[in-house]
Structure 1
Amino acid sequence: MDKKLVYSLNEGSSEMTEILGEKGANLAEMTKIGIPVPFGFTISTEACSRFYENGGKMDPAVRAEICAKVSELEDVTGKNLGDPENPLLLAVRGSAPVPMNGALKTILNLGLNRDTVNALEKMTGDKRFALNNMLDFLASYSSLVMGVDEDKFIDLYTQKSGQFCTDKDDLLSIGELEDLEEEYRNLIHEETGADVPEDPIEQLENGILALLRQWMSPDVVSYRKIRQIPDEPGEAITVQAMVYGNAGSSSGTGVVLSRDPTSGEKRLYGEFMINAKGSDMQRGIRTPMELSIMGAAFPDVYDRLKHICEILETQYRDLQYAEFTVQKGKLYILQTRRGRRTAQAAVRTAVDMVSENLIDRKTAVLRIDPVSIENLLAPRFDPEQEKDAKVIAEGIEASPGCACGRLVFSAEQALQLHQIGEPVILVQKDTDAEDLAGIYASAGIVTQRGATTSHASGAARAMGKACVTSVGDDLEIADDLNSMQAGDKTYYRGEYISINGFRGRVYEGQIHMIPPDLSGDFGKIMGWADEFRTMKVRTNANTPEEAKQGMDFGAEGIGLCRSEHMFYQGNRLQLFQRMILTEDPEKRREVMEEIKQIQRADYYEIFTVMEGFPVSIRLLDLPLQDFLPDSRRELAAFAEEADLSVGSVQRVADSLRENNPMLGRRGCRLCIMHPEIAEMQTEAIISAAIEAEEKMKRQVDLEIVVPLVISVHELNTVKEVISRTAQKVMKESGHKIEYRIGSMLEVPRACMRADALAESVDTFSFGTNDLTQMMYGLSRSDTAGLISEYIDQGIFPNDPFKTIDREGVGKMMQRAITLGRRVKPNLRLGVCGAQTGDQDSVQFFQEIGINYVSCSPFRVPVARLAAAQAAIRLGSGKDE
């Protein structure tokens, strides 16, 4: 039997997104469960594949099935395509397997021509209605099929009406609409040398071909790359009978979410416009009304919509977004999909749906995007500072969160500053799919137009960005995109502003941030996550304050305490500089003793904060030159303040400088070349552990980790210093403690010699940042632009410093684990690197048997949730 290529809406289901696209599959599902959907059919993704296999030509089998489905649609509707008395008019839309909101275009009113527009007028008795829909058809058809810039149609309408508006009191006269139709047609001919075809069959075939071609158009390809959407299986196309929200005062269009996507409250949330088209709402041309107002104006329709949302939630067991049209009092659902939501709403919705018996706890945990919950952990504005801050604009609170950044007015400006590490706030009239890269690079977004369902707000919510829309005339952006006017003051590009997406406000300058208060539903989700996960989550902490913060966020120990970071506080840097720049051995010993006491106090506090949880302390791992004064003048000033000879200080400093310090005297090499540093650190660590055990009356769980190891001889040299010094301290104190020695695996050679290293240590900790740098030969700090270009060209599937490279770095890790556990089956394995907060990376770590991951304190909940999801997906999680 030949493979089916085109499906009627009553032939599919929501399980067929790979075949029908998300839109087509959900239309089929709604048709199956009795939701009122305009009838039609879906051309499958297989037809898209055949189109490209055939060199951009329609497969005859696809054409034959489309013809059959058009006939079926004519029978169902009682209308005929091209009939001058009772014409069938069509909406033709792209349907990707995953949401691509705004990226795939639509043709409306396909089938209109000079004859059928007259029939539409006779059927409705409204010539203005018929002409307005003809204008929509000419614009949507010619922009997609013939390549005419859609903005030029908007400009023509604006010139004719004085303002781009379709409010009832400002409608163009019939004569003006007729003139505008001719202007549209003239524009099309001038731009293309051709006219829109009169034959509806030709219109349909051209429209389908154009929609298929758009899948590989530059804008759509760029959209997919940004969102990491694969090329395969391609695009499906839905064809449906038209329904009209602009058919008079008993008609309208709107969008609805089954729950509030900002808070998660169980109430209908959305907007509605009377006597309007969906494009009116999407462009933010008119200000829509809230659904609650629609309930007063159309109570029966509102009740029906509410009932349908309940059905959709029961069917899909998730918060649903739907677009709908009311045509002369009759409700139609045009599409549905999983509703976007903020992190706060995602958590509340998941918890509530468990209590409503719609989903179980595992499903609730899987529903939360781990990265998105960083929004819950991000600082908010200090209310005292915000209270006194100058408000320069107010709009709609489109996406929650607070952000401060430098003012920019285009995606290009945002990307430029983002690449040099500057936070930015993107301010534009509105946004579309072409601005996604700029939105991604921004800390927050402000738009003059739009509403809670506009492109800017939807994209911002999806990316976890603060967003304020519809600030209107409060802000006026200059034509040169270098400044904006707010009231009587001009704000220039690069100045700081702050935005509060919770309140819809834009402020002058910077406002101080404060940590959030986490409890309630968030605590429940994290508790469920901890029940299911098997991998431990530790925190990176270099100070007692960071250790406490990590514990507050649910860390189960410290996976990385970086000794070098302890020297960047207060007068410690100068002390360390004195230690490494002093030639006199006696003076150096005095300074080292002072440093040891400082570190001992820090380690003691860390041990007491951790209350017996594991603490992994990495010995010094930075080139000594990183601690040197930056210039000769600063070096001389240091020498004078430290009462040292400028000449001797300069001599020592020159001996420490290296052309490539990250591949020079760092890590364990420092311990070998300067064993006194390793001795000092070990004394501080062991004596602090002894004091903490005596204070807490419980055992300290201590790991001392040797960094940047490349050979077992190197490791054993440092291990001997640690062991000898530890024994000396314990003997002097009369208190024996247990501790483990571990090795960082950050160099490919260490992974290849993991069996030999495992003979000498109890733990391996993979430093995936360095390991990725050395495997790729790429500097993590200097190659952001190159990596971005490689991703754009398809050379890299993603940034290897954010998502673990399974095929290269991952295989090296697997080899090291196999070799190490062959020698020591119970070898403890950890990972500390930027990838520990990435969902895909954490799942890989779960697969290869990692015992724990370690990340910054604020990412601990992210890693906990990602670890739980990995365990659930791999079937290794604990049962409910």
Structure 2
Amino acid sequence: MNMRDCPDLLEITPSAGVERVRHGWRAKCLQRLVRMDLPVPRSFAIPAAAVQTIAAGRSGGLPGLSALFETGDGLVSVRPSAVMPDWGGPGTVLNVGINDATHARLAGRIGRGNADAIYLSFVQSYAINIARLDPDMFAQEGDGALAHALRLYHDEMDEDFPQDPARQLAEVLRSMARAWDGPSARLLRQAKGAPADAPLGLVVQDMALALGPGLSGSGTIQFVDPVTGTPRVTGRFRGQHHGAAVGSGAETLYLTCDERGTSLEDVAPDIFADLVRFGVAARERLREEMQIEFVLTDGRISIIDAVRLQRSSRASVRIAVALARDGIIPRTEAVMRVEPRALADLLHHQVDPRSPRDVIARGINASPGAATGRIVFSAAAAQAAAAREEACILVRRETVPEDIRGMHASVAVLTERGGTTSHAAVIARGLGKPCIVGASGIGIDGRARTLHAGARLLREGDEITIDGSSGEVLAGAAALLDPALDEAFTQLLDWADAAGGIGVRANADTPEDARTARRFSAQGIGLCRTEHMFFDADRLPAMREMIFADKPADRKLALDRILPMQRRDFIELFEIMAGLPVTIRLFDPPLHEFLPHDREGLRELAESLDLPLSDVTRRVEALSEFNPMLGMRGVRLGITVPEIYDMQARAIFEATVEASRKGAPVVPEIMVPLVSAMREVELVKTRVDAVAAAVRNERRSDFTYRLGVMVETPRAALRAGDIAAHATFLSFGTNDLTQMTYGLSRDDAGRFMGIYVGQGVYAEDPFHFLDNEGVGELLLVGARRARQQRPGITIAVCGEHGGNPESIDFCAEAQFDYVSCSPFRVPVARLAAAQSAINSRLRDKT
């Protein structure tokens, strides 16, 4: 073929100027296979610019197409070749060029039945996809189907089926080019992260026939398990299968003899050995685990294509580590190849992707992992099930702080309401339990103890599976994969830590949280929410006594009962963290959260306090607020009821003294929540300093501590310069800061957030992805003003965004000191921090 006659057809040779940006990934991959001397059929690349011209109908047909049919059997295939394989493209078209003359020639060589199957397959494809005829009309198979299809095409189109191979190919190219440019294809590409106007190249390749005498057929082969990532040769070989065309004597063989049934390894060991050899070469040269598509023609191998093996999250980690250990890629590249969020799948059980899924409801995937259990509708029922050692799933309209014990007792949580930073989502992530929130398609009847999921009616005790990674609720018990915290996982994170990056701490409220944080190599605790400690059964009565006390002395008396318990909590945290920093947030929630609101609960409380029910009811009503999240909570409570913060400060300092005597010196970090004014910090600091001095005198022991502020109001961010004068660190609580900046309820926004994101009001859910332009600007302004006032001040983020890879990159660029996130998101944050550091160094080099 004279290439000067067809400048837009570039033959893929070792030295050809194939470029991924012009010709696509498939063309470039085929060139690499050709350079490896693999038996690749003659192939041609059509650049994206020519494809756009074809789609617009301005080309008048590519010159020189006839020359493509002058070798071999005179048939070609056409495949899409986008810049990235994940962007997809129109379906492959096989057997282009077959006509009556070619059919007759093939019938003499491979048999009439096989030739009929090939011709029929192309006529059906052409009629449906090119001529746009009714698919049902061309569904006939078997004897006489080819003649029927050709006659039907003539009747519908008023012309014979095209016999000119060049015309066939031109129409196929035009159809594929226009399919890529259609509105549905554009939307699909955008969903995969591709630009709407992404270019498309096309590849034209000589057909290797998989029908005929001898060992003929088509198959795929891969060399690691796509679910586990362990080395294993798998695949299928389909004898006498040529695309959709099936010849006589067709059978399916496994690749290896360790699987059931007949294997290609047994039938043709030399061919199998060659395929393995090709796979090893492709892995080394392409620097990736590949799936190879091949055809056998009378025992002769043709390598048709090679694509990156589709893999699970756990397989992606093992593959990246194995490639680095074998010296095929550098360690830093292994770190960059794994999507940080993929690590979340390795920490928990996962639904086996190979098993069937009976989906009965969908919601927001708030906490990853999967678990199977029986439905319960209350925290008490969850605790009762746990006492029977029976796995249960807590189902609520939305959870409240009193549900924490039930969440501990259950294996997963499902709520009808809520978003990614609602109470259920935050606590479940901290506990490492699967959670789906905002499942608006379900209906919960607490009294009847039933759950409506679409047309399904489920009762308490029925078994379901929660897939917190996908947001799907499954009926019954699904097959689960175990967590994959193996040596490859550890190795990847060790390499990530070696790459450096922003510090990563954990949000840990309990000793178990702290142990999890240490297991995942967190650099300390960046947020310990002390209020969760008050909901324990042995502390709640004293807390309620304090709430009902009228005098400071009476409040102190009640809190003195809690003091030793708090002290034990902090001693255990300090000992577990072994000298690593521990940031303790002082009491934050409004007091009404510790009180019952139903009549039975109020009656029991009145009895325990020995008060009239009317007095208890009035007190509860007096504490209620129209908007408690913006009411008397956080530092406002600490100033108006200072005995609470006094008790907590004493517990912290006494624990500091005791833990320091037993082990590494402890320097506690005390964080004041919900600050909006400098004076608030001054007042709290004065009392905390007084408590510190008293403990030093009483215990005759010296210690230091750091006082900081949780910046979660817009005013605190704007006045960070003033606040920094009295603080050694600022930690942005981005959950509440986002809520207050947007004026959105983080518990209710999930009801409409999908619509807002879908219509482009917000690019992403701001509770899931940090809003760099709005909330992010407050972070930058606050950090800059704080550093101007106090150059050495520590700046951090302790909201749920701290475990989000994109948010971590923002914080790293802003030169924050650390992020803090749920313990089970620490590995994700460590990998994201390393990738941000590596990318930063690459940008500096360029």
Q: Scaled by the length of structure 2, what TM-score is found?
A: 0.79
Cα offsets for 1:503-524 (capped at 9, x unmatched): xxxx995599998573433322
From 403, 408, 413, the counterpart of 2:358: 408
Amino acid corresponding to residue 210 of structure 1 in structure 2: S
CA distance in 1, matches of 2:674, 2:51: 51
Corresponding position of 1:58: 57
Corresponding position of 1:73: 68
Once the two structures are superposed, the pairs formed by residues 282-681 of structure 1 within 5 Å of their partners are 289-292=254-257, 293-379=263-349, 408-409=358-359, 413-415=360-362, 496=463, 509=476, 516=483, 518-583=485-550, 587-681=554-648
The DSSP-based 3-state class of the residue aligned with 1:874 is helix
Once the two structures are superposed, the pairs formed by residues 214-253 of structure 1 within 5 Å of their partners are 214-215=179-180, 217=182, 219-247=184-212, 250-253=215-218
Corresponding position of 1:28: 31
Cα offsets for 1:698-746 (capped at 9, x unmatched): 3113111112222222332332332233223333322221111111122
From 818, 824, 827, the counterpart of 1:858: 824
Corresponding position of 2:723: 757
1:610 to partner: Cα distance: 0.7
| Residues 1:654 and 1:672: Cα distance change in structure 2 (over 3 Å) | same
Is contact 1:139-1:153 (8 Å) kept? no
Is contact 1:535-1:867 (8 Å) kept? yes
From 24, 27, 39, the counterpart of 2:42: 39
Amino acid corresponding to residue 659 of structure 2 in structure 1: A
Is contact 1:371-1:837 (8 Å) kept? no
1:594 to partner: Cα distance: 1.7
CA distance in 1, matches of 2:95, 2:459: 45
Is contact 1:378-1:515 (8 Å) kept? yes
1:778 has 2:744 as partner: yes
The DSSP-based 3-state class of the residue aligned with 2:273 is helix
CA distance in 1, matches of 2:108, 2:674: 80
- After TM superposition, the structure 1 stretch with the greater mean CA deviation from structure 2, 649-658 or 272-281, is 272-281
The DSSP-based 3-state class of the residue aligned with 2:119 is helix
| Residues 1:321 and 1:589: Cα distance change in structure 2 (over 3 Å) | same
Cα offsets for 1:554-604 (capped at 9, x unmatched): 111101101122223334344433432444655533321222222121111
CA distance in 1, matches of 2:46, 2:180: 14
Cα offsets for 1:107-128 (capped at 9, x unmatched): 2223345x25634544534222
- After TM superposition, the structure 1 stretch with the greater mean CA deviation from structure 2, 230-239 or 683-692, is 230-239
The DSSP-based 3-state class of the residue aligned with 2:208 is coil
Is contact 1:258-1:313 (8 Å) kept? no
Corresponding position of 2:393: none
Corresponding position of 2:144: 175
Once the two structures are superposed, the pairs formed by residues 659-738 of structure 1 within 5 Å of their partners are 659-696=626-663, 698-738=664-704
CA distance in 1, matches of 2:585, 2:160: 72
CA distance in 2, matches of 1:142, 1:685: 78
Corresponding position of 1:264: 229
CA distance in 2, matches of 1:836, 1:867: 10
Cα offsets for 1:381-437 (capped at 9, x unmatched): 9xxxxxxxxxxxxxxx7559xx9xxx735xxx5436979999799xxxxxxxxxxxx
CA distance in 2, matches of 1:544, 1:803: 29
The DSSP-based 3-state class of the residue aligned with 1:735 is coil
Corresponding position of 1:470: none
The DSSP-based 3-state class of the residue aligned with 1:304 is helix
| Residues 1:125 and 1:280: Cα distance change in structure 2 (over 3 Å) | closer
| Residues 1:674 and 1:31: Cα distance change in structure 2 (over 3 Å) | same
Is contact 2:508-2:527 (8 Å) kept? yes
CA distance in 2, matches of 1:695, 1:178: 91
Is contact 2:556-2:643 (8 Å) kept? no
Cα offsets for 1:353-391 (capped at 9, x unmatched): 33322222222222332222223211489xxxxxxxxxx
CA distance in 2, matches of 1:787, 1:545: 33
The DSSP-based 3-state class of the residue aligned with 2:841 is coil
1:795 to partner: Cα distance: 4.6
CA distance in 2, matches of 1:13, 1:824: 60
Is contact 1:13-1:26 (8 Å) kept? no
Corresponding position of 2:84: 98
Is contact 1:408-1:494 (8 Å) kept? no
Corresponding position of 1:208: 173
1:149 to partner: Cα distance: 7.3
CA distance in 1, matches of 2:499, 2:146: 63
Amino acid corresponding to residue 627 of structure 2 in structure 1: N
| Residues 1:398 and 1:243: Cα distance change in structure 2 (over 3 Å) | farther
Amino acid corresponding to residue 747 of structure 2 in structure 1: S
The DSSP-based 3-state class of the residue aligned with 1:276 is strand
1:39 to partner: Cα distance: 2.5
| Residues 1:140 and 1:766: Cα distance change in structure 2 (over 3 Å) | farther
Is contact 2:41-2:205 (8 Å) kept? yes
Is contact 2:314-2:342 (8 Å) kept? no
Amino acid corresponding to residue 579 of structure 1 in structure 2: M
Amino acid corresponding to residue 577 of structure 1 in structure 2: R
Is contact 1:551-1:610 (8 Å) kept? yes
| Residues 1:134 and 1:786: Cα distance change in structure 2 (over 3 Å) | farther
Corresponding position of 1:17: 20
CA distance in 2, matches of 1:239, 1:93: 7
Q: Scaled by the length of structure 1, what TM-score is found?
A: 0.76
Amino acid corresponding to residue 539 of structure 1 in structure 2: A
Is contact 2:18-2:31 (8 Å) kept? no
CA distance in 2, matches of 1:493, 1:603: 38
Is contact 2:555-2:643 (8 Å) kept? no
Cα offsets for 1:87-133 (capped at 9, x unmatched): x33322223322338763222223345x2563454453422222222
| Residues 1:356 and 1:760: Cα distance change in structure 2 (over 3 Å) | same
Amino acid corresponding to residue 759 of structure 1 in structure 2: A
Corresponding position of 1:107: 93
Amino acid corresponding to residue 344 of structure 2 in structure 1: E
Cα offsets for 1:294-338 (capped at 9, x unmatched): 122222322222222122112122212222222232222222232
| Residues 1:819 and 1:355: Cα distance change in structure 2 (over 3 Å) | same
| Residues 1:104 and 1:814: Cα distance change in structure 2 (over 3 Å) | farther
Amino acid corresponding to residue 555 of structure 1 in structure 2: A
Cα offsets for 1:821-875 (capped at 9, x unmatched): 2222222122223333333332222221122121222222222122122222212
| Residues 1:49 and 1:686: Cα distance change in structure 2 (over 3 Å) | farther
Is contact 1:95-1:238 (8 Å) kept? yes
Cα offsets for 1:126-150 (capped at 9, x unmatched): 2222222233324433444455676
CA distance in 2, matches of 1:356, 1:31: 24
| Residues 1:574 and 1:180: Cα distance change in structure 2 (over 3 Å) | farther
Amino acid corresponding to residue 867 of structure 1 in structure 2: A
Cα offsets for 1:456-511 (capped at 9, x unmatched): xxxxxxxxx9xxxxxxxxxxxxxx9978xxxxxx99999635699xxxxxx99559
1:692 to partner: Cα distance: 1.3
Corresponding position of 1:459: none
